[in-house]
């Protein structure tokens, strides 16, 4: 046998003994179906609370500063229903994105028994994550915040206190879309309200004093503009990732040609849950559930990583190398 150092992103082994499975803790007994997923990260929890606070602040200003004091009841009812519906869908999408397992790989499954059960053949390898002691399927990446390997991980978003991955990308896309819509709606209503207040007496267009009304409207305008730009960019980025079937991490690592994907429309349907329908916009309707991982999904051919291999001289310059490839001499 000859040990050839390779890239530092993964541990690549063909024999169980090289994986040191005795150091891996056996995976815990799986919890009941539907168990809530929640990441205990202080920064993420704070960002999630801030997100809810900002949405509720916008709700307060829209209702109690602009709509309820208005004498145009039809205008108030229509915009009140529309804004509250979009806000509800935004918060529901936020909860689903935050509390849904993004596609975590079973932790600690790099045990000797499991590796031997794969019955690896010559030319096959398995990928091990040394941080969570899991065998990685294709396109899985380790998240240092979630402390798990996530299938098709795009990025970790502190605003939803979770990774955006295979199982919750739909909810994250809906969250960014609905936040962008309520931000745009709020900006339009702020503009209309300012025009009406300039034409009429300021004391009659709000229950609050004119200075307080102006401050509340300016803060809402700033919030709406900021989140409209941010969420619109995130929404476009996520839709592009879905259509190209290339996550943010894969796009950053790609050096030349993009990966081959089965088709934009097919990937969109898989992400949003089947053929086009209103369920695409429903945060309570899930995406198409991927099939359970089989033994074949844990194993890959050595040729599939040929583009990532390095020479001994190149990898010797890196101090953080922790992976080897086992080949027959």
Confirm whether 243 is a catalytic residue. no
- Residue in 157, 163, 197, 205 annotated catalytic: 157
Q: Which domain holds residue 196?
A: 39-102+154-250+259-291
Return the exposure string of 232-268: e unless at least 16 CB atoms fall within 10 Å of the residue's CB, then b: bebbebbbebbbebbbeebeeeeeeeeeeeeeeeebb
Is residue 179 in a domain? yes
The mean predicted confidence, pLDDT, of the chain is: 78
DSSP 8-class letter at 277: S
Is residue 89 in a domain? yes
Is residue 116 in a domain? no
Centroid of chain to Cα 69: 39
Residue 28: count of CB within 10 angstroms of its CB: 9
Is residue 137 in a domain? no
pLDDT in tens, 127-153: 888 888 888 888 888 999 998 999 999
Q: Does residue 154 carry a pLDDT above 60? A: yes
Using alpha carbons only, what angle is made at residue 231 by residues 227 and 234, rounded to the nearest 5 degrees? 150
pTM of the model as a whole: 0.80
Q: Does residue 23 carry a pLDDT above 70? A: no
Q: Give the position of tokens 């994550």.
A: 129
Which run of H or E residues covers position 13? Answer: strand 11-13
Is residue 33 in a domain? no
Residues 313 and 230: their CA atoms lie apart, in Å, by 43
| DSSP state letters, 132-198 | TTEEE-TTEEEETTTTEEEET--EEETTTTEEE-TTTHHHHHHHHHHHHHHHHHHHHHHHHHHHHHH
Is residue 10 in a domain? no
Is residue 29 in a domain? no
Is residue 49 in a domain? yes
- Count up the domains in the chain and report the number: 1
pLDDT in tens, 47-106: 999 999 999 999 999 999 999 988 889 999 999 999 999 999 999 999 999 999 998 988
* pLDDT at res. 312: 25
């Amino acid at each position: 046998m000859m040990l050839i150092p390779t890239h530092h992103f993964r541990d690549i082994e063909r024999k169980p003994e090289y994986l040191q499975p005795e150091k891996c803790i056996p995976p815990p007994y799986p919890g009941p179906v539907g168990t809530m997923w929640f990441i205990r990260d202080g920064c993420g929890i704070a960002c999630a609370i801030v997100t809810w606070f900002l949405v509720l602040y916008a709700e307060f200003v829209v209702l109690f500063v602009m709509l309820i004091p208005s004498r145009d009841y039809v205008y108030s009812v229509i915009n009140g229903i529309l804004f509250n519906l979009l806000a509800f869908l935004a918060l529901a999408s936020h909860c689903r994105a935050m509390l849904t397992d993004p596609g975590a790989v079973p932790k600690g499954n790099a045990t000797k028994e499991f590796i031997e059960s794969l019955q690896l053949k010559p030319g096959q390898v398995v990928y091990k994550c040394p941080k969570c002691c899991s065998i990685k399927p294709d396109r899985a990446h380790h998240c240092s915040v979630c402390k798990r390997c996530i299938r098709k991980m795009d990025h970790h978003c502190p605003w939803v206190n979770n990774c955006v991955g295979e199982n919750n990308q739909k909810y994250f896309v809906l969250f960014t879309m609905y936040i962008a819509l309520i931000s745009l709606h709020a900006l339009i209503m702020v503009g209309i309200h300012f025009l009406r207040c300039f034409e009429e007496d300021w004391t009659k267009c709000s229950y609050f004093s004119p200075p307080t009304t102006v401050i509340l409207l300016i803060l809402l305008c700033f919030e709406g503009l900021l989140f409209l730009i941010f969420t619109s960019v995130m929404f476009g980025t996520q839709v592009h990732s879905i259509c190209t079937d290339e996550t943010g991490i894969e796009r950053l690592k790609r050096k030349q040609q993009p990966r081959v994907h089965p088709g934009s429309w097919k990937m969109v349907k898989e992400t949003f849950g089947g053929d086009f329908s209103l369920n695409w916009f429903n945060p309570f309707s899930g995406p198409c559930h991927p099939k359970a991982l089989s033994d074949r999904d844990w194993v890959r051919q050595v040729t599939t990583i040929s583009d990532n291999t390095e020479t001994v001289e190149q990898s010797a310059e890196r101090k953080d190398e922790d992976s080897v490839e086992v080949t027959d001499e």
